[in-house]
């Protein structure tokens, strides 16, 4: 697998990363610890070097799994984790006070079984703490050798610029896919101007773009709180999957592979982090890096998607309120 650079100060990762949240957190099922560790080992052995976790996933247990799994490969991989949720729970609220950032970082280091975090994100922008204080705290942690690079998640253009002026931001992590293209309006041009990498989470639309979601989700599935995943909205939004399937069949690829290769084609500093709990899906995702979309094919996809109006908000109300719109 090829490498891509995130930001201008040295962070280099595999062109496709691994979103670890679903290992034990997303659909109410997850994997047992042994199977999760085996899957992460398979990812490393196949060339993935970039792994994304957070204290809020579990909470805490996801970092423990990632730490144990990647310890044998520590020098060869990049681990990203996050601070910023009160009591490690987005539902409780936000907390990016400097003392909290330091406490969370120390706890994450222990769970991850490492003495440094490669990429430390602010999980969500805390309106009660100036972003300059947040960036300054991470800057100090970088000077101390506990963190290597600074990242933001779901931050606005204004916040990105303010943070970047204090401590260079290497990566922004936000949702971006053929299921959610809002970042194209302001975020991507700003990142390009400032030399900041982009890490799209949910690059497969939280699984929707795989084409396997076509009916009501199981009751234990955490995606049930997302309006776009109501039974009614799933049925309405399948028009997007049907359209992508037609193009994918012409390319002899899956809709998931088409969606990932489309993302990779947007900018050379975009690194998606698809999640999976299955080895065959991991291999399917990785194969997307070998797919070349022509200019005509990319134009066809854009025209097709722009003609479809998707229904349903991407977050429930309490999470929507935590999106930085400054």
Q: Which residues are catalytic?
A: 57
Q: Determine the straight-line distance between the first and last CA of the chain, rounded to whole angstroms.
A: 37
Token pair, residue 167, equals 């401590």
With beta carbons less than 8 A apart as the criterion, state whether 64 and 32 touch. no
Match 């309106």 to its residue by tokens.
127
Adjacent-strand bridge partners of 175? 201
Torsion sign over Cα 223, 224, 227, 228: positive
With beta carbons less than 8 A apart as the criterion, state whether 197 and 15 touch. no
Adjacent-strand bridge partners of 3? 14
With beta carbons less than 8 A apart as the criterion, state whether 53 and 87 touch. no
Pairing of β 50-52 and β 117-122? unpaired
State how far the Cα of 251 lies from the Cα of 155, in Å rounded to an integer: 35
Would you say how long the chain is, in residues? 326
With beta carbons less than 8 A apart as the criterion, state whether 79 and 273 touch. no
List C-alpha distances in Å: 278 to 22, 40, 42, 167: 11, 10, 10, 38
List C-alpha distances in Å: 232 to 142, 177, 208, 216, 312: 47, 21, 14, 8, 9
């Amino acid at each position: 697998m090829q490498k891509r650079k995130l930001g201008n100060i040295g962070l280099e990762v595999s062109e496709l990363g691994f979103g670890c949240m679903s290992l034990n957190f997303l659909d109410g099922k997850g994997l047992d610890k042994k199977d999760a560790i085996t899957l992460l080992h398979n990812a490393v052995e196949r060339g993935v070097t970039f792994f994304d976790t957070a204290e809020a996933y579990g909470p805490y247990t996801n970092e423990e799994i990632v730490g144990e799994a990647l310890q044998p490969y520590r020098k060869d991989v990049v681990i990203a984790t996050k601070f910023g949720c009160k009591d490690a729970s987005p539902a409780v609220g936000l907390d990016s006070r400097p003392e909290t950032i330091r406490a969370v970082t120390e706890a994450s280091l222990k769970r991850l079984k490492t003495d440094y975090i490669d990429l430390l994100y602010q999980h969500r922008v805390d309106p009660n703490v100036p972003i300059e204080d947040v960036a300054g705290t991470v800057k100090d942690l970088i000077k101390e050798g506990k963190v290597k690079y600074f990242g933001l998640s779901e931050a606005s253009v204004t916040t990105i610029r303010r943070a970047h002026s204090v401590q260079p931001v290497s990566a922004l992590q936000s949702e971006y896919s053929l299921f959610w293209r809002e970042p194209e309006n302001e975020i991507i041009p700003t990142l390009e101007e400032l030399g900041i990498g982009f890490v799209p989470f949910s690059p497969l639309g939280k699984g929707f773009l795989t084409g396997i979601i076509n009916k009501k989700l199981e009751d234990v599935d955490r995606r049930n709180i997302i309006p776009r995943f109501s039974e009614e909205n799933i049925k309405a939004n399948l028009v997007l999957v049907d359209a992508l399937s037609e193009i994918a069949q012409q390319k002899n690829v899956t809709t998931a592979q088409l969606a990932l290769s489309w993302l990779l084609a947007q900018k050379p500093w975009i690194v998606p982090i698809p999640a999976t709990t299955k080895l065959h899906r991991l291999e399917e995702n990785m194969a997307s890096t070998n797919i070349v979309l022509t200019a005509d094919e990319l134009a066809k996809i854009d025209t097709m998607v722009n003609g479809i109006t998707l229904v349903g908000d991407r977050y429930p109300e309490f999470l929507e309120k935590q999106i930085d719109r400054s």
